[in-house]
Each structure stands twice: as C-alpha cells, then as structure tokens.
Amino acid sequence: MTSTSVEPGHLGAAELENAQIRRKSKGVIELKDEHGRRRTIQVDELTEADRELAEKFGYNPVFKREFGYLATFSFAVSISGLFATVATTFVYPLTAGGASSAVWAWLISGAGCMCIAASVAELVSAYPTCGGLYYTVSRLAPPKWVASISWVTGWLNLLGQVAGVASSEYGSAQLLLAAVSMGSDFSYSPTTGTTVGVMAALTVFTGLINSLPTWWMEKLTRTYVIFHVLVLVTCMIALLAKTDNKHNATYVFTDKEGSSGWTPSGFAWLFGFLSVSWTMTDYDATAHITEEIEEPEVKAPFAIFWAMAFTYVAGFLFNIVLAFCMGDPASILASPMEQPVAQIFYNSLGKGGGIFYTVSAFMIIQFVCWSATQSLARTFFAFSRDRLVPGSRFWVKIEPRTGIPLLAVWISVFWCIALNLIALGSYTAILGVFNVCAICLDWSYCIPIACKLMFNKFEPGPWHMGKLSKAVNAYACLWTAFVSIIFLFPTIRPVTATNMNYAIAFLGAILIASMIYWYAGGRKWYTGPIVETNILEGDSANDSDEKMNKFDHEV
C-alpha cells in the first residue's frame, strides 16, 4: 500500500501534518455522511464533475446535477434582477447627483464590478464547490492562515447574502404595494408596517419555492431570462415612445442637481455607485450551486461573466432611458408610492402600463429572491459541512425526497425576515442593509482575490484571463476598497438619527460578532474546509466490500 499527502486545501491547518489519502489498486471512493458513517463506491460510478468533487476537493457529491448552460446563465442573470433592482435603487443616484450620476456612475462603477466578476469567475472555474470563494482560501493562502482567513471570508459572505436576500424581499414588497397604490389611484399609501408584513409573507413563499426539488428550480430558472429580457426591452421602447416631454441629451448626461445636501455636490455624486454595486453583486451565487451544475468548471464561470456583462450593458442603456423619461426629479422623488421608477411608469404609460411594468418588476425581483435564497441555503449547507456556523449538524442534512438541504432553506428564511424587522424601528436603518450587502459580499470576494495575488498558489481552471489576470485582480481589489469607503458615508446632510447611514453600524456588528465567536470557541474546532472522502485504490476489492457491508449493517 502507498500513501500520498493531501493538498493543503483539503484539510484544516491543524490536521495537515498527519493527513494522508489511502490508495489501493481498484479505483474506489470512500464517502462519509453527516453521521460519520462511511460507504465506498467505484470511481467510475460517478460523473466526471462528482468524481472531481470527491477526488480533488474532498467533498461528498450529494446533489443532482440538473443545471445546464441555459439554466446556469439564467440563474446568474436572475441574481442581478436588472429591471427590478434598478427600479428599487434608482433613488440613490437621483438623490445623490441627478441624471448624470444615474448614467455615468453606472458606466464607471460597472467597469469595476466587471473586474470583480471576471476575477470571481476565474476562481470558480478552478475550484467549483458550493462553498464558493470561501473554499478557495484553503487553496490560495498559506496553511497556517487558512482557518482565520476563511473564517472571516465565510462570515462576510454569509451575512452579505442574508442582507442581499433581505433587502431584495423588502424591495419586492415595496414594488407590489406600489402597484396596489397605483391601482387605487393613490388613495392607498403603504405604511412601513404593511411593507414589513408583506415582506415576511413573500419571504415565506420564497422558502416554499426553495423547498421544491432542484429539478423544479432548474425549470423555473430556465424561463426567467427570456421573460426578463422581453420586459426590459419592451419597457424601454414604450417609455421612449410614450413620454411626451423628454429631457434633452445635455440634461441627461450633465445634470448633477442632487438633493443630498452635500457640499461640494461632486462628492455626493459618488453615492450613485450604490445602485450599480447592489445590482451587480452576488457574483458567486452561481458558485454556490456548482455542485448542481453539469461541467461546473466551464458553465459556472461562463454564466457569471456573461450574465454580468449583459447586466452592465443593458443597465447602462436602461438608466439612460429612465433619465430621458423621468420628468421632474423632485416630483418622482415625492411620489406617494415611495417608488420613483414606478411613478415614471405611471406618468409615461398611464395607469394600465404603470401597473403592468411595476408588477413585472415585482415578478422579476421575486425571481431574484428565489435564486438568491437557493444560493444562500447552499452556502449554509457548505459552511455547515465545514463546521463554520452554529447548529451545523442540522443545516447539513439533505431531505431525501427532494434532494435539497431543507433546514438550510428555512434558517435562511428566518434570518432574512429577522433582519428586515429593523424597519419597524427605523425605515432609514433598513436602507443601511442595502449598503452593507454590497460591502460584505465584495470584501468576501476580494480577500481570496488578494490571496491569489500575494501567495502565488493559484492553479487556473479551464476559464481564466491569462496575462490580464493579475491586472484585473488588482483593479478589482482597489475598486472594492474605494467604493466601500463611499458606502459608509451618510448620503444626506445634515446628518440626524433619522437619516444617518447605518451600514457602518451593521458592518461593525458583523465583524465584532464574528471575532467574538472565533475567540469564544471557533478557533478550537474550526480548521478550515474538511475532508469527507478518501480515495482508495485497492490491491484487493475485499476491503471495499467489507466496508460496504458494514455500512449497510449500520444503516
């Protein structure tokens, strides 16, 4: 019998010295379930992607691979939810710096976001596991730093995703109630309490959708991208055709009359970056379903990069159309629906057209929530598999009838509702959730990207940038550092308790809680991504048969 050392990414730093994979002459993989029971199967019984997951990354293949090219691309597009997320966040550039902020902030910030997306796609191609970029730290950082760096990366990513789903569900509730208000000829105005109640109901509905088998999620996702593109294109054509008093090009590309109260106004103009960063984020959501994708090392990075490229170009055009057709900014900002873009639809397209496109935006952002919750649940599963989160033994369980981590879905639902309850105390505070979502997620991407640059341990997958890689990676990190500072500033002056930016409080709470949990016990049991499989090449098949018989007896 021969022994071969495991690569550093397979085990935590404390286990590296003694880690070995046993090999015998017949290709066999020994799997371990969440109860610690082991079984063995022949390597050739697995698909190529599942074999690589077990052999190269040390994880049990437990999901069915239902996602092909179209479904994966559609999933990646659905995460941005362009039509709806721009409608939800258009208020930020409009308040910050007027029409020019909506247009040029998208072009500038979108370029930085594309660098992050390309960098993420490159890492996902090399390490396609549902742990996402959190897992890549174990392959990119020195062994002694793996546990601490992956701990911070994992918690930032997890809480950023919770904030992302929570803010999307809140925006979804706002759009639905805006349509109701429009239908009542504005005799009904939604309250914050009503919005929170509708948000909670929609989040529970999202949980029910995500309780379906992966096959159903794939079918739902596959149709989404077609619906989204049709809504986006027809809306832009309708707005340009039906708006009577459009602004001229000079106004659209040069107006910077924001209402933030900042002096000089040029600094406030930078707050327009938030709309872009909130829309073009969660790049690694597709990574979190790679264990459900056929040929994930190719299809996942393809979907991530081209979905973001579509969002970048189409979002730039959509913002230009909105700027041409929005009318008086002060008027739409004072809309009784509290939804400036829904008010633009109503003003330009009338009651029927306004309701149709507002409801369409609501449906699209619901797709965002469904996809993002699927990604979040898989993240809970992946992090629980490595014992990163409390209650890991619950969230790692796979429901046998549906093949999904059902408890991980519902813990995701719980935390998204709990976070949005902040709005009952302060509507302004909930806006900080939008900010902290972009900050946490982008930091969780740039930490592994920085490790790739600093430690030179990266082994590229099929999708990579070649000679451009380091330059794109470096710009992604620099851009993230720059916009993170911007997003922590208050967006309105003078600053009061009712209009301050609570993102810095949320970010501080996240980092402090993570550190407390680490020193309270996490550092004692968490050693980084773990091994669930052994690769066996046996000089006799008897060992395998004996192990299988033992496993069957235990079950």
Kindly report, residue by residue over 324-351, the tens digit of the pLDDT: 999 999 899 888 888 899 999 999 999 9
Q: Mean pLDDT, to the nearest integer, of 476-498?
A: 85
Q: What is the share, in percent, of the chain residues with pLDDT greater than 70?
A: 84
Q: Which residues fall within 8 angstroms of residue 133, CB to CB, at 6 or more apart? A: 120, 123, 124, 153, 157, 284, 287, 444, 445, 447, 448
547 pLDDT above the threshold of 60: no
Strand pairing class (38-42; 20-23): unpaired
Separation of alpha carbons 125 and 139, rounded Å: 13
Q: Mean pLDDT, to the nearest integer, of 241-253?
A: 94
408 pLDDT above the threshold of 70: yes
Q: Mean pLDDT, to the nearest integer, of 75-95?
A: 88
**Nearest to 189, CA basis, from 337, 313, 42:** 337
Read off the pLDDT band of 122 (50, 70, 90): very high
137 pLDDT above the threshold of 50: yes
Q: Mean pLDDT, to the nearest integer, of 86-97?
A: 88
Per-residue model confidence (pLDDT) at position 206? 96
Separation of alpha carbons 92 and 435, rounded Å: 11
Per-residue model confidence (pLDDT) at position 2? 35
Of the candidate CATH numbers 1.25.40.340, 3.40.190.10, 1.20.1740.10, 1.10.1060.10, the domain formed by 62-524 belongs to 1.20.1740.10
Burial code of 442-462, b = ≥16 C-beta within 10 A, e = fewer? bbbbbbbbbbbbeeeebeebe
Residue with tokens 């993570």: 514
Burial class (CB in 10 A: 0-12, 13-18, 19+), 345: buried
Amino acid identity of residue 462, one-letter, is: P
Question: Phi and psi dihedrals of 534, rounded to 5?
Answer: -120, 140
Per-residue model confidence (pLDDT) at position 6? 37
- Would you kindly state where each structural domain of the chain is located, as residue ranges? 62-524
What pTM was computed for the model? 0.81
Contact (Cβ atoms closer than 8 angstroms) between residue 278 and residue 486: no
Q: Mean pLDDT, to the nearest integer, of 385-404?
A: 85
What SS3 class is residue 534?
A: strand
Highest mean pLDDT among 214-218, 228-232, 262-266, 372-376: 228-232
Burial class (CB in 10 A: 0-12, 13-18, 19+), 541: middle
Per-residue model confidence (pLDDT) at position 546? 45
DSSP string covering 454-523, please?
HH------SS--GGGHHHHHHHHHHHHHHHHHHHTS-SSSS--TTT--THHHHHHHHHHHHHHHIIIIIH
Per-residue model confidence (pLDDT) at position 5? 35
291 pLDDT above the threshold of 60: yes
Strand pairing class (27-32; 533-537): antiparallel
What letter does residue 29 receive in the DSSP assignment? E
Q: Mean pLDDT, to the nearest integer, of 144-163?
A: 89
What SS3 class is residue 533?
A: strand
Separation of alpha carbons 409 and 402, rounded Å: 12
Per-residue model confidence (pLDDT) at position 68? 77
Q: Mean pLDDT, to the nearest integer, of 157-164?
A: 89
Q: Mean pLDDT, to the nearest integer, of 259-276?
A: 82
Chain-wide mean pLDDT for the chain? 81
Return the minimum-mean-pLDDT range out of 153-167, 297-311, 418-432. Answer: 418-432
What SS3 class is residue 189?
A: coil
Q: Mean pLDDT, to the nearest integer, of 271-285?
A: 84
What is the number of other CB atoms lying within 10 angstroms of the CB of residue 265? 17
Q: What is the share, in percent, of the chain residues with pLDDT greater than 90?
A: 38
Per-residue model confidence (pLDDT) at position 534? 45
553 pLDDT above the threshold of 60: no
Per-residue model confidence (pLDDT) at position 552? 37
Per-residue model confidence (pLDDT) at position 450? 95
Reading phi first (left if > 0) and then psi (alpha if -120 to 50, else beta), residue 36 is in: left
Read off the pLDDT band of 316 (50, 70, 90): very high
Per-residue model confidence (pLDDT) at position 544? 40
Q: Mean pLDDT, to the nearest integer, of 89-105?
A: 90
